[in-house]
């Protein structure tokens, strides 16, 4: 299996590859090779090796086979990171871009069809004379104008050529006026695009291509053609919008990857929240507040990005007591149970009684505390048990007033990233506290064992009856170092006097069977060959579930002087 295994994968896997493939990938991640398109496997491997070699991000587009047999286009971006032991850990994000690929293909087909139509349809051919004073005299207008602006408007233009100017969109009239101010000349081709109102009230994009030739001392005849390019313009606008969305997604993905790398090294909850706040802010949200609560609504940490100091102070003041935090946070919890994230336009904020202070950009006006000024989105931080442990408040997204579903999905990645990182930090803190407590307990035990007049031991009940622990005083008692018993060089039972061995064995077995403490007095052979009388007190320790004997613990005291 090449030593690969998943440490974490988000809930969106099933949507990308289907339920069965998702299950098999979670069991064995190498299954990814079986559902990757054979045509794409070489490129995926090449980019992965290149990323490892150069220690850079791998960004690859490939196809995965869904449960239903269809191929889904996937864009995966991941960054390798070495960790102790020589292994490599990948942090990455995979995104289904099948719809975008299909849309791009459809746009290409539509573009080709429109170009064919443009080449075969003449549109509306026209000609007019332009005089030295800038005035125009219509010469000809072809019948195709009816299809461009409708028969009623076409009739107006046929009667008065200047009527066409009155149909131009107010935002585009400047394009035409600017061109008219330029000097006219032969061998000069002019191409303009503007919007003209149709009979049906809609705006149609018209393209004008024209050229002029001199027909008199102060007269130029302009020949041209008007074509309806509305469909092409819509495609161009959609293409530009798709390009912007793709650019935003790339920026968001890069931001998410960068934040994932940064929070992997975070040591505190506060540091984690600040990284998340800065990342979301840099991805296009005007202002961000990230809050983490402890179970009893104690304010554990809060981070700001793009929020002015006055607003920060106001938010902190409204988070001052557990009662205030519980009241505000509970409203969010109630809505989070309905949907993971939600968005409240400013107009609805008052009717929904959103009592959380609004977030304002540092460059914007500071509204009164009783006013509801901006649109706000809320995204929870949910732990592995599904409990909401914090929330992100976001002021309206840059360049759009209503965030789309994909935006929330992206924001929820940040919420999940924050929640998982905080869980990791808290687990590490608990582990460090436990290790410290164990270390202190061990130090206390060793001080007790080293300074006790007798021998303290923990004995395994295996074939060799080895010692897990025996205090250093044993060397004074029998002349043999404690290490020899722990590492199995010497066996404790071999030192028991032959005349006492059976009695010791019988009483100990009886004590184990009865699960009672035992007291034994017998002789042990010293390294000098002499026997020492010792008194041993101990008990057996059993597994609480199975009852199986685990080990013996006891205390041995040299009583030779009494005998």
Distances (CA, A) of 1 to 4, 5, 94: 6, 9, 22
Q: Are 407 and 397 in contact (CB under 8 A)?
A: yes
The per-residue pLDDT for 521 is: 92
Q: Which domains does the chain have, with CATH numbers?
A: 13-96 (3.30.450.20), 106-228 (3.30.450.20), 250-428 (3.30.450.40), 452-558 (3.30.450.20)
* Dihedral angle, C-alpha 417, 419, 423, 426, nearest 10 °: 110
| 390: three-class secondary structure by DSSP | strand
Residues 6 or more apart whose CB falls under 8 angstroms from that of 371 comprise 358
The per-residue pLDDT for 531 is: 93
Residues making up the chain, counted from first to last: 563
pLDDT digits (tens, 9 = 90+) for 84-139: 666 777 788 888 888 888 877 775 675 455 445 444 555 788 888 888 777 888 77
The per-residue pLDDT for 160 is: 83
Beta-strand ranges (E) seen in 415-525 are: 455-460, 467-470, 518-525
Q: Are 42 and 448 in contact (CB under 8 A)?
A: no
The per-residue pLDDT for 111 is: 45
pTM of the model: 0.39
* pLDDT under 50: residue ranges of the chain: 1, 111, 114-115, 117-119, 335-340, 342-373, 398-405
The per-residue pLDDT for 123 is: 76
Q: Are 553 and 538 in contact (CB under 8 A)?
A: yes
Q: Are 36 and 64 in contact (CB under 8 A)?
A: yes
Distances (CA, A) of 479 to 475, 476, 485, 556: 4, 5, 12, 14
pLDDT digits (tens, 9 = 90+) for 56-70: 777 888 899 999 999
The per-residue pLDDT for 347 is: 45
């Amino acid at each position: 299996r090449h030593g690969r295994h998943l440490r974490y994968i988000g809930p969106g896997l099933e949507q990308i590859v289907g339920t069965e493939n998702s299950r098999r990938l979670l069991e064995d991640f190498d299954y990814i090779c079986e559902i990757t398109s054979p045509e794409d496997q070489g490129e995926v491997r090449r980019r992965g090796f290149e990323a490892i070699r150069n220690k850079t991000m791998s960004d690859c587009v490939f196809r995965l086979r869904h449960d239903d047999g269809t191929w889904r286009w996937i864009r995966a971006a991941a960054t390798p990171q070495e960790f102790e032991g020589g292994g490599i850990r990948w942090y990455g994000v995979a995104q289904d871009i099948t719809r975008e690929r299909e849309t791009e293909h459809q746009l290409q087909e539509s573009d080709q069809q429109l170009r064919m139509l443009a080449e075969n349809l003449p549109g509306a051919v026209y000609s007019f004379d332009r005089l030295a004073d800038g005035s125009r005299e219509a010469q000809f207008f072809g019948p195709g104008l009816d299809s461009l602006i409708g028969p009623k408007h076409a009739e107006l233009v046929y009667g008065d050529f200047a009527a066409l100017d009155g149909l131009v969109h107010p935002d585009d009239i400047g394009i035409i006026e600017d061109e008219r101010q330029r000097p006219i000349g032969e061998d000069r081709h002019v191409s303009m695009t503007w919007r003209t109102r149709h009979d049906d009230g809609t705006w149609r994009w018209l393209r004008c291509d024209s050229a002029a030739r001199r027909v008199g001392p102060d007269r130029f005849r302009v020949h041209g053609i008007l074509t309806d390019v509305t469909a092409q313009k819509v495609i161009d606008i959609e293409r530009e919008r798709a390009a912007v969305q793709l650019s935003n997604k790339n920026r968001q993905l890069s931001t998410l990857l960068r934040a994932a790398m940064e929070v992997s090294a975070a040591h505190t909850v506060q540091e984690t929240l600040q990284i998340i706040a800065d990342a979301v802010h840099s991805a296009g949200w005007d202002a961000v507040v990230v809050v983490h609560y402890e179970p009893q609504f104690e304010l554990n940490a809060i981070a700001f990005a793009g929020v002015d100091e006055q607003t920060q102070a106001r938010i902190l003041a409204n988070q001052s007591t557990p009662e205030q935090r519980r009241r505000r946070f509970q409203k969010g919890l109630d809505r989070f149970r309905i949907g993971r994230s939600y968005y409240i336009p400013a107009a609805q904020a008052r009717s929904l009684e959103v009592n959380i202070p609004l977030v304002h950009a540092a460059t914007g006006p500071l509204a009164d505390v009783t006013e509801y000024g901006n649109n706000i989105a809320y995204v929870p931080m949910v732990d592995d048990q599904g409990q909401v442990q914090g929330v992100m408040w976001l002021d309206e997204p840059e360049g759009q007033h209503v965030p789309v579903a994909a935006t929330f999905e992206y924001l929820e990645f940040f919420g999940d990233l924050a929640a998982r990182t905080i869980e990791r930090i808290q687990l590490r803190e608990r582990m460090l506290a436990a290790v410290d407590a164990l270390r202190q307990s061990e130090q206390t035990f060793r001080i007790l064992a080293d300074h006790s007049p007798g021998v303290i031991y923990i004995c395994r009940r295996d074939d060799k009856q080895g010692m897990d622990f025996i205090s250093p005083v044993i060397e004074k008692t029998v002349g043999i170092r404690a290490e020899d018993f722990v590492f199995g060089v010497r066996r404790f039972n071999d030192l028991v006097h032959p005349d006492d061995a059976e009695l010791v064995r019988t009483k100990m077995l009886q004590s184990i069977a009865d699960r009672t403490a035992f007291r034994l007095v017998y002789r042990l052979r010293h390294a000098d060959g002499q026997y020492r009388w010792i008194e041993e007190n101990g008990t057996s320790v059993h597994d609480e579930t199975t009852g199986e004997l685990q080990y013996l613990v006891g205390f041995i005291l040299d009583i030779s002087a009494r005998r």
